[in-house]
Amino acid sequence: MKHDLKGIIPPLVTPFDDNEMLDEAALRENVRFMLKKNVHGICLGGSTGEGHTLSVEELARSIEIACEEVEGRIPVVAGIIANSTRDAIAAAKAVSKFEVAALQITPVHYVFKPTEDATYAHFERLTSEVDIPIIIYNVVPWNYLSPQLLVRIMEGLPGVIGVKQSAGDLKLMADLMISVPQGRLVFTAVDALLYPSFAIGAHGTIAANPAAVPGVCVSLWDAVQSGDHERAKEIHEALLAFWNTIFADNLPANVKYVLSKQGVATGRPRMPMPVTSAAQAAAIDAQLEKVLRYDQA
């Protein structure tokens, strides 16, 4: 079943049990929670999902479980974080047997930065060997792709249907929005600035805030789409105050903590990521009740 990719697409956490193994029952619970919040899609294996720690087999099993729970109602995106073209292709082929709407793939992220031509060749080979649309996950600080390179890739490779733009620079987002080829998609992962990203035309978001408080982010999206900017700004301010409490090097752990406060089983992060500290929990608790007032689901 074909779906349009747009709106609020949370990158789900990956629940692990006390032995750091995939907790399949908890993952199903997370998918059902997102469906109840009326999200427009879900992503597995992203940064919030600790995708950098997952084996290919774990990623594939996560996608299989998500597809079973979703039953075609919303699109499922598979996140791939790999350091070589070969490994990215292997992961893509492992999930290709399931109903995957798109692949969210990072540029390589180890210290050796490829040239722009090498990066182009990376995505060119991916599109030639895997018949699933690709969204470039532009997140790696020392290999951050410029709007010009992203446009070059999207113009030259029909299999690359869009980009997920991360980091905090709304100027780069704005530059991309006015130059993106027609028919290509731009998703924002600038969590602190979801509202202005939506207001300038971002097609949706795949980001940590939606993974933590999906119903609130759906409310924000709906407000912008209906032109209710007074309400959108109000939600933005609550989301920003909340975001400032969860943004840290253990962000996935903090998202898991937030979900647990909403009654969703999430388990622990994989070592060496620390769990949410007592100080972090206190700050989160102070803002969570306020932001959840905007959860209309």
Q: Which domain holds residue 20?
A: 7-294
Q: Does a structural domain hold residue 146?
A: yes
Residue-level pLDDT at 2: 65
Q: Is 166 exposed, middle or buried (0-12, 13-18, 19+ CB in 10 A)?
A: buried
Q: Does a structural domain hold residue 147?
A: yes
The predicted model scores a pTM of 0.97
Report the C-alpha gap between 44 and 24 in whole angstroms: 13
Selection from 191, 199, 284, 188 nearest residue 233 by Cα: 199
Q: Does a structural domain hold residue 1?
A: no
Report the C-alpha gap between 232 and 80 in whole angstroms: 32
Q: Does a structural domain hold residue 278?
A: yes
Q: Are 119 and 107 in contact (CB under 8 A)?
A: yes
Q: Does a structural domain hold residue 2?
A: no
Question: What CATH number is associated with residue 258?
Answer: 3.20.20.70
Low-confidence ranges of the chain (pLDDT < 70): 1-2, 297
Phi-psi region of 155 (alpha: psi -120 to 50; beta: other; left: phi over 0): alpha
Total domains in the chain come to 1
Report the C-alpha gap between 250 and 239 in whole angstroms: 19
Q: What is the token pair recorded at 95? A: 């999930």
pLDDT tens digits, 89-147: 999 999 999 999 999 999 999 999 999 999 999 999 999 999 999 999 999 999 999 99
For residue 90, CA distances in Å to 20, 40, 76, 93, 125 come to 23, 27, 19, 5, 12
pLDDT tens digits, 58-81: 999 999 999 999 999 999 999 999
The neighbouring-strand residues paired with 79 are 104
Q: Does a structural domain hold residue 216?
A: yes
Q: Does a structural domain hold residue 150?
A: yes
